[in-house]
Amino acid sequence: MQASDTDAPQWPMIIGGKKVEAQSGKRFDIINPATGLAYCSVPEGDAADIDIAVDAAKKGFDIWSKMSALQRASILMKAADILQERLADFVDAEVLQTGRPIREMRAQLARTPEWYSYFASVARTYESKVHPFGGDHVNYGRRLALGVVGLVTPWNHPLLILTKKLAPALAAGNAVVVKPSEVAPITPLMLADVFSEAGLPEGVYNVVTGFGAGAGAALTAHRDIAKIDLTGGTETGRKVAALAGERLIPFSGELGGKASVIVFDDVSVDRAAAATLFASFVAAGQTCVQGARLLVHESIHDAVLEKLIARANALVVGAPDDESTQMGPVVSDRQLATVEKYVAIGKDEGARLVAGGERLSGEGRDGGYFYAPTIFADVSNDMRIAQEEIFGPVVCVMKFSTEAEAVALANGTDFGLAASVWSSNIARAKRVAEDIEAGIVWINDHHRIDPSSPWGGFKDSGIGKENGIVCYEGYTRMQSIVLNTSEEPFDWFAEDGKQKRYS
pLDDT band at 4 (very low <50, low <70, confident <90, very high): very low
d(CA 98, CA 377): 29
- Name the pTM for this structure: 0.95
Share of the chain above pLDDT 70, in %: 98
Catalytic residue ranges: 165, 254, 288, 466
Give the pLDDT score at 146. Answer: 98
Q: Which of 313, 459, 451, 309 is nearest to 389 (CA)?
A: 459
- Mean pLDDT value across the chain: 96
pLDDT band at 2 (very low <50, low <70, confident <90, very high): very low
Alpha helices for 252-402 (secondary structure H): 269-281, 301-314, 333-349, 384-387
d(CA 187, CA 114): 17
Give the pLDDT score at 134. Answer: 86
Statement: residue 503 has pLDDT above 70: no
Give the pLDDT score at 57. Answer: 98
Say what angle helices 69-85 and 87-98 make with each other, to 10 degrees: 70
Q: Is the dihedral of CA 299, 300, 303, 308 positive or negative?
A: negative
d(CA 187, CA 89): 9
What residues are paired with 35 via a beta bridge?
Answer: none
Which pLDDT tens digit goes with each residue over 139-163? Answer: 999 999 999 999 999 999 999 999 9
CB of 277 closer than 8 Å to CB of 375:
no
Q: Which of 204, 253, 254, 247 is nearest to 222 (CA)?
A: 247
Beta strand segments in 418-460, E: 418-422, 440-443, 458-459
Class of residue 467 by CB neighbours under 10 A (exposed 0-12, middle 13-18, buried 19+):
buried
Running DSSP on this structure, what letter comes out for residue 73?
H
Which pLDDT tens digit goes with each residue over 185-213? Answer: 999 999 999 999 999 999 999 999 999 99
Which pLDDT tens digit goes with each residue over 222-270? Answer: 999 999 999 999 999 999 999 999 999 999 999 999 999 999 999 999 9
d(CA 110, CA 351): 39
Class of residue 125 by CB neighbours under 10 A (exposed 0-12, middle 13-18, buried 19+):
exposed
Backbone angles phi, psi at 296, to 5 degrees: -120, 140
Give the pLDDT score at 496. Answer: 84
Which pLDDT tens digit goes with each residue over 49-91? Answer: 999 999 999 999 999 999 999 999 999 999 999 999 999 999 9
Give the pLDDT score at 492. Answer: 84
d(CA 391, CA 286): 5
CB atoms within 10 A of CB 366: 11
**Length reported for the chain:** 503
pLDDT band at 6 (very low <50, low <70, confident <90, very high): low
d(CA 73, CA 124): 6
Which pLDDT tens digit goes with each residue over 393-429? Answer: 999 999 999 999 999 999 999 999 999 999 999 999 9
Alpha helices for 99-135 (secondary structure H): 102-109, 112-125
Residue-wise over 478-503: b if at least 16 C-beta within 10 A, else e?
eeeeeeeeeeeeeeeeeeeeeeeeee
CB within 8 Å of 491: residues ≥ 6 apart: none
